[in-house]
Amino acid sequence: MAARRYDPERRQRIIDAAIRVVGEKGIAGLSHRTVAAEADVPLGSTTYHFKTLDELMVAALRQANEGFAKVVAARGVFQDPALDLAGELAGLLGEWLAGERVGVELEYELYLAALRRPALRPVAAEWCQGLAEVLAERTDPVTARALVALLDGISLQVLLTDGAYDAGYAREMLARLIP
């Protein structure tokens, strides 16, 4: 019997491969087989670490959700009440949308997959709730949720229309929600 190879990074490589597969082929192209091939691991490794595709998609969505959160955390703007919240949010959204377009599209593709895959819904909700909690530090919880919805809407409009992001428009719309 051959010795099992110790590979502590395999689970992460599988998640990374799943994200690349969705980025290249969309959700419809995601299977244990396509991920195994992309990760260069045996098919049994993907099913060992992720019994179902939903489990794999949950892990991929969790990782993809970190994109905007990293942009927000890097700026650390929400603690200073003197800063223009609408302007800061518009700037953050612009930074995120100006990044790697494939990554932003992938994040939304996984996020929207929750419409048909109930297992993904709690992860999608975590992102919305987490951002709303951060925003609620500068405003009230209801306004924070409305800001998250507006940020989502602006992002989707830019992605779906291949339009250019208009920071001035975003700032004006965000400011209308902030008391």
Pick from 73-77, 98-102, 163-167 the range whose average pLDDT is largest: 163-167
> Looking at the domain that runs over 65-177, which CATH code has it been given?
1.10.357.10
**pLDDT value at residue 4:** 52
Q: What is the CATH number of domain 10-53?
A: 1.10.10.60
Q: Per residue in 27-78, pLDDT tens?
A: 889 999 999 999 999 999 999 999 999 999 999 888 887 766 677 767 766 7
Residue with tokens 């405003």: 139
For the chain, which residues make up each domain, given as ranges? 10-53, 65-177
pLDDT at 134 over 80: yes
Percent of the chain at pLDDT above 90? Answer: 46
